Amino acid sequence: MSAHHGAVTSKAMRRADLATATGCNIETIRYYEKAGILPDPDRTQAGHRVYGAPDVQRLRFVMRARELGFSLEDVRGLLGLGDGAMRTCAEVRERTEVHLAEVRAKIADLRRIETVLATTAAQCSGSDVPECAVLDALERV
């Protein structure tokens, strides 16, 4: 067994239980394990993977960070704070500010796309004719 979890206890969960406890699907859990985002789980004597409360907490952290749009590499860095690799809150703030700038750029792009689509859709008659303002706009690119 790994030193991460200690002894397997009666509170040990299987992967399906971890998925249920966090709302994360099993394939995603497998992927996070392979990517090194989640540590290798302990195993029973029969070789079954078992998880505990620290795994639930870590997976919830990862899921929340992913919901906020952090890349897996960013998640690794953010987890590093708790794992001892990242030393200061300033490093987390810097990573977060870079991500915030990326999010704001995406929002600006989406607003531009929204304007073009709204303008183009407004020019469309919506009738059963072969002429279509939307297709014409796409062909003009």
DSSP state of 23: T
Q: What is the rounded average pLDDT for all residues in the chain?
A: 84
Give me the phi and psi of 73, to 5 degrees please: -65, -40
Q: Does domain 1-70 have CATH number 1.10.1660.10?
A: yes
The whole-angstrom distance between residue 134's C-alpha and the CA centroid of its chain comes to 34
> What pTM does this model have?
0.71
Q: What would the pLDDT profile of 23-65 be if each residue is shown by its tens digit?
A: 999 999 999 999 999 998 999 899 999 999 999 999 999 999 9
Tokens encoding 24: 């994360």
Domain limits of the chain?
A: 1-70, 88-141
